[in-house]
Each structure stands twice: as C-alpha cells, then as structure tokens.
Structure 1
C-alpha cells in the first residue's frame, strides 16, 4: 500500500510546504481539500494549476484526489449548479493529474430510496465527462450514506466504472458496520481508504493513529499483501478541531503504525 494524507489536517498550508511535508515524512501522495479557503480549488486559473502540478512533480509526490464538497443526494437545489460543481471538480482533477474526485452523499433526512435515486442520477450524468477526463468520482461513506451497504445502494444503480467508493473507516464504524462487511461491500468499487482515529463515538476529535477506538488493525489488515496497488489516506480533521494536536509531528509515527498493521495483517 501507498500512503497519503489530507490537507484537511494542515489547513491553509502553501503547496510547496505540503509537498515538502510529504517528502519529509515518507508519504507518496496527498489528498487536496478543494475549498476556496485552501490554495487549490476550482476557482484557480490555468497558470496556478500548472504551478501546482510542477510543484508536486518536482517533489515526486502524487496528487491523489481533489476532495470536493458536492452533495449528490441532496434534496432539491439547483440541478444546473450541482452539475457545474461536479464538472469543475472533474476538470480540476484532470488538470492536476489527480486520479479521483471526492463527493459526499448529503441526503439528509429524506426517504433513502429517493436519496439513492437522486445520487445515482447525478453521478451517472457526470460519469461520461469523468471517463473522458480519466478521473474517477468517489462517493464517500459519510452522513446519510455512512455504511458500505448504504453506498452500494447508490453505486449499484449507477453501474459505471468511473463512479466508485471512498471508504471512510470512521463513518462505517459509527454506522455499526464491521470492517469485513464494509470491505466486502465496497471492494469491487473501491478507490481508496481514509483512515483516522477518534476517542469515542461521542468525541470525534482526531487522535494519533492507534490512540483511539477505531478498529484500524482490522480495517488495514484486510489489505495486507496488496503490494503497492492501493492507498491509505490519513484524513486528520484539524480544520474542524483546531485544538487537536498538530498533524506534522504525527505523520511519521502514523505511517509507521500503518506499516506495522499491514505487516501483521490484522
């Protein structure tokens, strides 16, 4: 497996420093949070995009994902605006050479069948552009669709290879789904895995990997022996928990912890 971290853990950090941090700590890739308060988002121009590509190329670090905030199962809203948001994320990822874009379900409290159909319709409509751009759209296990079973209801309706799943191990655990069950559901469509750790279901403040309650050994062990074919990405939610410990000093021990879990295979 290869290792990445999300820039959600280092909010606002300039791109040269992000690349230097990945190199210094032994991470091969970065998940870029695509938000206007960050250095990289759909509003940056061609020159800025080229500069980002050059910085990552110079550092030998891969841009794994453009992590967007489109909510594909959201009820109502401006259909044209949502379509444009997906298109902009796909084009940004293509320009940057990223493999994926991340989207959320965002179905809220509406009827699950209606939310599934809405998400599938929107994802299916965006899939041809994603295929043309060489980018996969990944639906994260999150909010209204937090388990693998939830995500698979949508992906089964879409049925397009350019639309897959992003497994956030915290949300499937919070949804009461065992890692082996999540893996069985998601693996045919899986882009990669987001790892993290928290104190409890009631306190989701980010912790160092291995310091909390999430079943990381069970999750990561499912990928033992996969070689370099997959990615584990540490999503440390410092942006939402400013009092949490700073991520940079945790990155090396975090990577070493994941390596040990892979070596043990459980």
Structure 2
C-alpha cells in the first residue's frame, strides 16, 4: 500500500511546488487536478508545461498516482455527451503523456434528473468503449461523493463496465455525509476499491462538521479502513 498526496489540500501551490512538498513529507505519490480553476494541469496544457511536471516528478522520485478530472461544461447542451466523451479521451491522453497511473473522476448519479443526459450510466458506457480501444494499461478510478454518485451507485457502475482497469476511489466520509448505510456501502465497494481516501470528520451537535486529520475526529471511519485488506488497495490518499 502506498500513500499519495492530494493537491486538494494545497490549491495555492503550483504543480511543481506541490510535488516537492509531497516528497518533503515522505509521500510515495501525488494526485494532480486537471481543471481550468486552480488545476495544476488543464486539458489544454502546453507541451512545455507537461514536460515541467514530468521533470519535477522524475527529479523528486515521486509517482503521479492519478489525475483528478474536473470537467466544466453545460450539462444541458444537446451535445453534452460528446463533450464529456471528448473530455475523457483527452484526460486519458494527458495521463499517458504525464505518466499518470490513473484518471480519477466524480460523476452525478442516475437518480439526479438534472444530469440525466450525462449521468453515471452514460459515462460508464463511454468508459467501456474507450478502454476497449486503449492499450496503455491506464486505470480509471470513480470516486463516491455526497454531491455526486453514492458508493452503491459507483459500485454498480464498476460492475456494469466489467473491466479490471476500472475501480472505486472510496471515501468513507462521504458515505456518512450522503446518509448511506455504512455496512451496505462497505460491502458493495470492497471488491473493487483501488484507492482509499483517508479523511475524518468531527461533527457538532447542530449537524455541522469540520474536516480533521484522520483518526482525530469524533466519528471514526477506522472500520472501513481495517475491513479493506491492505493488499487490495493500490494507494491511499491523505487530504
């Protein structure tokens, strides 16, 4: 099991600065964001910028665990599906250019009517087609999130795709935030977890919460981490 650093925690740093920080604190890898808004990379990053990132990774001896894709598009457009598929294609190409091991993404669940045109089922179909043509070995990691697809929905989508290169980025904290049954979620995701996100929350009496360091919150997610055997997980992210 390896530990990688997520740049969600350091939006003020450039990609090179974040890579150096991750190495300074002993992480094995790093996850960089692909976004027009505070992303260390974008889908239109120049060849020079990509080389800068690759050289920094090589210089620090750190792996690029994944690219975290944040697509920005109008989901109500009639061609939204084409835009999403083109975005997935470009993100996979960018991952291969940078040496990333995986592309990570969050997708709206099928129960969200506002995203019926580009929901999890449609994205799963796109990924299945793209991976049939891709021979790079790149992996796809779909993360559960309280504002996107739930753990149960992601687990079902991964089964639908039926490709060992597609797995789950499991966030136990978002199971709690989304009101899911923890035991059901854990049982559903366990066979397909590729990344386990270490996070913890401290809840207030009014229902609010604060993100805290793993193991320091009043509501522990240790059961989830202990239940998933170490050899089943490729990486662990610390936010």
| Shift in alpha-carbon separation, 1:50–1:112, aligned structure 2, 3 A | closer
Matched, 1:139 2:138: no
Gaps of 5+ in 2: none
The answer for the alignment partner of 1:46 in structure 2 is: 47
The answer for the alignment partner of 1:248 in structure 2 is: none
Q: Which has the higher contact order (CA 8 A, sep 6+)?
A: 1
Number of aligned residues: 230
The answer for the alignment partner of 2:234 in structure 1 is: 230
The answer for the alignment partner of 1:109 in structure 2 is: 112
Gaps of 5+ in 1: 236-266
Matched, 1:174 2:177: yes
Matched, 1:123 2:124: no
RMSD, matched Cα: 2.8
Matched, 1:96 2:101: no
1:62-81 matched pairs, under 5 angstroms: 62-70=63-71, 78-81=80-83
Instruction: Give the superposition deviation at 1:94.
Output: 1.0
Contact kept? 1:94, 1:135, Cα under 8 Å: yes
Q: 2:222 aligns with which of 217, 220, 226?
A: 217
Contact kept? 1:32, 1:65, Cα under 8 Å: yes
In the superposition, the TM-score normalised over structure 1's length comes to 0.75
The answer for the alignment partner of 1:256 in structure 2 is: none
